[in-house]
Every structure is written in structure tokens, then in C-alpha cells.
Chain A
Amino acid sequence: MTEPTKRTMTLNLSDEEMSVLDSLAQQKDVTKTAVLRQALRLYQMVSVRRARGEKLVFENDETKEKAELMLL
């Protein structure tokens, strides 16, 4: 049974971007690679649903106020 192939990519990040990546990885107790893969999954999901005409909305837990997340 063949293993699915993994592809490698080199990523250039600014100091600030790397800092955010480090911080997220630490907060979420996962590797930096895992953070980026999560970001990819989320971005794909959001893109597909936006393409369907759905909106991404933040809701304030207490006030129940909703604010749309504007995405290009």
C-alpha cells in the first residue's frame, strides 16, 4: 500500500508573521505546521461557503450582537 505523497514548501515570513505564528502555536499547544494547516482548512471552508453566498459572522456571546467579517 503506497503512502500518500507529502509535498514540501519553503515559506518566507516576516518577523512579525513568524512572531504571530509562534504565538498561535504556543497558545494552541500545536506545532507551527499545524497552525498553518489549520489556517488552510479554515480558509478553504470559508471560501467555499462565501462562494455560496453565505456570510461569516461574529456574535457577541453576551449581547448577541452580530458583526459580519468582511472578506475579500
Chain B
Amino acid sequence: MRIHVTPEWCLAMARREGDLEVGAGLRAPHVEPEEGASSLVEARIAFGRFVHLVRRKRGISIERLAKDASLDLAEVVRIEDDLHYNPDPRTVYQLARVFGLPQRPLTELAGLAVPKSERFRSEAIKFAARSESMEALSVEESQALEEFIRVLSERHEA
């Protein structure tokens, strides 16, 4: 769609707009300013790590996960490896379904929604820090994973 405006219209309307605020839309829940910016990136790191570990815990390959979740192989690889990759809401939905986990906390973890609590954010960071990319899932990783799944499930009930 294209619009057709004259310079005169733009000038007149901009002058009248002056210093008025113009925002419209529903307000989102309050979040600390530091969290607002960095939590998105931190959440994404934890999300990729989480998907990676859950997959390895279940002993399935990336190919298998992609097939089960009806996702592109390339996308699953990027979710696990690429810090700057933003997953689709549909992708998060599919992964939650395949893993048998609640939607909302996973959506927050994927950086598609701002986490509502400080505790969730710190748990996500702790989890990302504790988990290492290793061939076999270590006892430490296994414990970290179990605990985080518990936190995710608790959040869903909260």
C-alpha cells in the first residue's frame, strides 16, 4: 500500500503535532530498565542452551528434533548455536509441545516476551552459566537441567 502526501500536508500536520506524545497500544508490565535491555539477550542464551540440553538429555539428534517439531533443520541449529537468532513464536510453541513444557515461560525464555519476575531472570542466567557444551550430559548438567525445568513449571503455575 502506498500513501500520497504533499509537503504542505506534512509540514502543517508536523507543526500541529508539535511536542504532543503519539503512542498508542496496551502497556506492558513494568520491568527494571537494566533488565529491559539485557534480559532479551541473556534469555536467548539460556533458551539456546536449554533446547540443546533437553535434546541431548533425551538422546535425540538435531535432525530428529527438527522432524518431531516440524521445524527446519537449519533453524534448530541456529537456535542452539546462534546467540543473535530470534525464534518465531510458532517455533517456540512447537518446541514446548515436543518437550512437554508450558508455553509462556518458554516464550519469555526465547526473548519473545519480557520476563515478569526477577527470580526467573536470575534462574535463567544461573542455568546458562552452569551448563557447558560437552559431548555427554554430565551429572552437573543433568542437575542444572532438572532444576531449571522445575523452575519453568513453577512459573507456569504462579
Contact = CB atoms under 8 A, between A and B. Distances in A.
B45 to A, nearest CB: 26
Nearest to A52: B93
Interface string B82-93: 000000001001
Interface residues of B, number: 3
Contacts, number: 3
A48 B94 CA distance: 12
Contacts of B103: 52
A49 B90 CA distance: 10
A52 B106 CA distance: 14
Interface in A39-70: 48, 52
Contacts of B90: 48
Interface of A: 48, 52
